[in-house]
Structure 1
């Protein structure tokens, strides 16, 4: 009978270590995998400029925005704490009857006590042309009485995967009686496209 040596013990330990490491790599590979540079460079980053109009309809029989939370009696003249849910039309032209290109869906709230500055958390969900089914996510501050407001793009989906950039908003109409507004948007978004 062969003698069990330190060498045999080392070989057995190495085999056990190799099997356990191989098993761990398989398990970890299912959950997390590094993307190689070859895959990442298949599509080059590009910047797209989008121009459209956002229609926030507060009044009338079919509003596109409704209050979902906020104080019943705010001590702030600006409505601090009021929170709204929106599903606003995005159109090609400034009239709400112009061609629909998508929807602005999300939440905004009055986040300042001394002025009307909104916290915007919204997606521009596009329904037209090559952007149909793609979206851009916005998260930022919107001081509505400034002529032009800049908000960051924090992500996207579809054609706009890995999106980053900014959106410039400019109010072209505001009805003080109803609260309805039409806002012109220029969006500059850097992205890689749908195929990664």
Structure 2
């Protein structure tokens, strides 16, 4: 019986009502969340051979570790100069302990400066968007040892 009092709307009228409702709701939702911008800088020491094969993020071999870079990369170009990187930066110290950033993209590994996407994150980096730049600062080919400066810029909640 109560359904007799509900006005019948045509499809175009219903669509108009839904659009107006969406336009008034979404800005209110977005206004409640402010993005923070975070800049991180660290050095990755890559040991590709020998007894200490590892990827550890820290500024000096004697300094405290801030995390680990875990993941894989594979050659992704016919000439072998580009690698496809899928990496997780797992933070293990202080403020960002337990947080992660997911890095993905083409790494032009023989260029001094490279840029990849930060595609996801967890912990302090939920709903992240951003990028990471790599700069090769030291190469020791006979010992397969590389030092890369990493600068991360991300926006997150």
- Assess same fold via TM > 0.5: yes
Match for residue 124 of structure 1? 89
1:61 to partner: Cα distance: 1.1
Match for residue 109 of structure 2? 144
- The question of 1:177 aligning with 2:142 is answered yes
1:39 to partner: Cα distance: 6.0
Q: Tell me how large the CA RMSD over aligned residues is.
A: 1.7
In structure 2, list runs of 5 or more residues that go unmatched.
4-24
- The question of 1:63 aligning with 2:17 is answered no
Secondary structure of 1:130's partner? Answer: helix
1:96 to partner: Cα distance: 2.1
- The question of 1:165 aligning with 2:154 is answered no
Flag the structure with more relative contact order, 1 or 2, with Cα contacts below 8 A and sequence separation at least 6: 2
TM-score (ref. length: structure 2):
0.78
Higher normalized strand content (fraction of residues): 2
- The question of 1:54 aligning with 2:21 is answered no
2:99 pairs, out of 134, 149, 154, with 134
Give distance in 1, aligned partners of 2:64 and 2:126. Answer: 25
Q: Which has the larger radius of gyration?
A: 1
Correspondences of 1:24-35 after superposition (within 5 Å)? none
In structure 1, list runs of 5 or more residues that go unmatched.
1-10, 15-35, 65-87
Asked if the contact 1:89–1:96 (Cα under 8 Å) also holds between the matched residues in 2, the reply is: no
Give distance in 2, aligned partners of 1:101 and 1:42. Answer: 32
Match for residue 191 of structure 1? 156
1:47 to partner: Cα distance: 1.1
Secondary structure of 2:141's partner? Answer: coil
TM-score (ref. length: structure 1):
0.63
Give distance in 2, aligned partners of 1:41 and 1:97. Answer: 45
Give distance in 2, aligned partners of 1:103 and 1:41. Answer: 35
